[in-house]
Each structure stands twice: as structure tokens, then as C-alpha cells.
Amino acid sequence: MDCADPEPGSDQVTPGPSKRQRKPTDDSESNDVALPPTIGATIQVGHDHATQQRPRRVACECWNFMAACETEEPPVGVSRSELVATDVADLESRVFRLSRRPQSASRVRCLLCWIFFGRWKTWVNGDGLTTRIREHLDNYHHHEYRTKCQQEGITVPSLNLTPTNDTTSNVVFSSRLLAEYLAQWAALDDQPMSVVDRPEFRRILLLCSRAPNLRDSDIPHRTKLTTITAELYEAEMTRIKHELNKALGFVSVTSDLWSDGKLHSFMAV
């Protein structure tokens, strides 16, 4: 009876555990990091951080018609014809798609307003200005703005434009019509009816009545009001400091904080 030797000799080779041969892979795949299925499913394949970022819009169709400026009024000592010639040459030499917002200037001005109408139209150079300039170009320079964008193959962004043209130029004034306009404004802007009794409000209407040819462009926007408010605040603070410096002896200042029924905060000094 033949028996198998339980311990093979040194000349016998015992087969080891089977190993799966790894398939050759490309260099591009060999460097991939293996991720758990739950993590890998949440990552978009083939998109790195740079490609996932939203492309930044530079609004070249907006800034092509603007120029850097430092003053709210035309420069003194230079003729308008000379400035217009310089602006025309500058505008014609520009590459439309490379136009960008001036970064170092404190203000920007509309080249078309100065070239065609002799009006020095400026804005404070800052963020959030693109929409206002687009509205200005579409309202006051519609043909030049749209034609240039069409020639360059640029789609004009959709704007919720509020017509700035004066639609009341041919309207005859009457007390009834004024009351209707005020009532409509109070209703749409959720203003209290008592606002018309405020001396400051009535002073505004009386001042406007003295303007010979008041236009929509003469009425300031929120940016201008913000600037004027800051200037008035600084002037009032300076006046108060001068009064306190002239006061005899010591001055005790205290403050009180409270809120009304509509949670409007107040502070009294």
C-alpha cells in the first residue's frame, strides 16, 4: 500500500497561493488615488478646482465707452475741441474685447456724453457700477451702444431698464396732478401720508419749482446721496466739536438707547 509523504522533500515544489496578475495601466491612470465609492461618487471626474470656478465677466461692452477721470467737472484751461479730439482718438484705438474698468482712477466718465453732447458725465469708481453704466448707455446712447456690440458679436446683457427720459415734459402742472403723483409715490414706496407735511419734504418741492428746466439727470441717485450724507455728517461733527471746545468748564455727555414698536433703533445724546 502506497502512502503519500505528508512532508514533501526539498526537491518538491509546493504551489503557493494564487495571485492575480495586475494589468498594465497607462501612466495617466497609475497616479490616480483610489477613493472610497461614497467619496468618489460626489466628485466630478475630470474637473479640477480651476475649471469649477465660475468665469468672471469683465463687461468689455460697458467699459469700452468709459475713461478714467479725477474730477466731476471738465478740466480748466483746455478747450473742449482739444479734449474731444483726444477722446475720439482714444475711443477709436481701443480693442473692444480688452476694455476693462480703470482701477486707479477715483471716477469714470462717459466718452459719448462728452463727444456728442458736451456733457461731463461721471460716476464714482467702485463696485456695483456696471449695471448703472449699462443702463446709461442703453438709455442715452442706444444706437452707438447696440450697434458696436452687434459688430463685435457681443450679446448685451438683459437689463431691467427704467426709462429715464422725461415723460412729463409736455404735462401741464396742476395741484390735482401733483397730489395724484404724490399719492402714487406714497402707495408704491410704502411711505406714510404724513411725509408730505414734513418741512424738509416741502422744501424739496419748492426748490425744484425754482429750477428753470429740471431734468431727470439733475436728480441725484443713491451713490450721490450716500456721498453727500457722509459729507454733511462730517461737517456736523466738526461743528459740534467746535462748540464743545468753546464750552466753559466740563461737559457731561450721556446716551440713551431704545426701540419703537416697529423695532427701529434710536440713540439720544
- Digits of tens for pLDDT over the chain (269 positions)? 444 444 545 454 555 555 555 555 555 444 555 545 444 434 444 444 444 443 344 578 888 899 998 888 888 888 888 889 988 998 888 888 888 888 888 899 999 998 888 889 998 888 778 888 888 888 888 888 888 888 888 877 765 444 445 566 677 889 999 999 999 999 999 999 999 999 999 999 999 988 877 877 788 888 888 888 999 999 999 999 988 888 777 667 777 888 877 778 888 77
Kindly report, residue by residue over 177-222, the tens digit of the pLDDT: 999 999 999 999 999 999 999 999 999 999 998 887 787 778 888 8
3-class secondary structure per residue, 102-161: CCCCCEEEEHHHHHHHCCCCEEECCCCCHHHHHHHHHHHCHHHHHHHHHHHCCCCCCCCC
Q: DSSP code of 13?
A: -
**Going by DSSP bridges, is the β-strand pair 256-259/265-268 parallel, antiparallel, or unpaired?**
antiparallel
Confidence (pLDDT) at 79:
85
pTM of the predicted protein model: 0.41
CB atoms within 10 A of CB 91: 15
Helix (H) or strand (E) holding 69: strand 66-69
Confidence (pLDDT) at 40:
40
Per-chain mean pLDDT for the chain: 76
Kindly report, residue by residue over 138-155, the tens digit of the pLDDT: 888 888 888 888 888 887
Grid cell of 202 as nine digits: 416741502
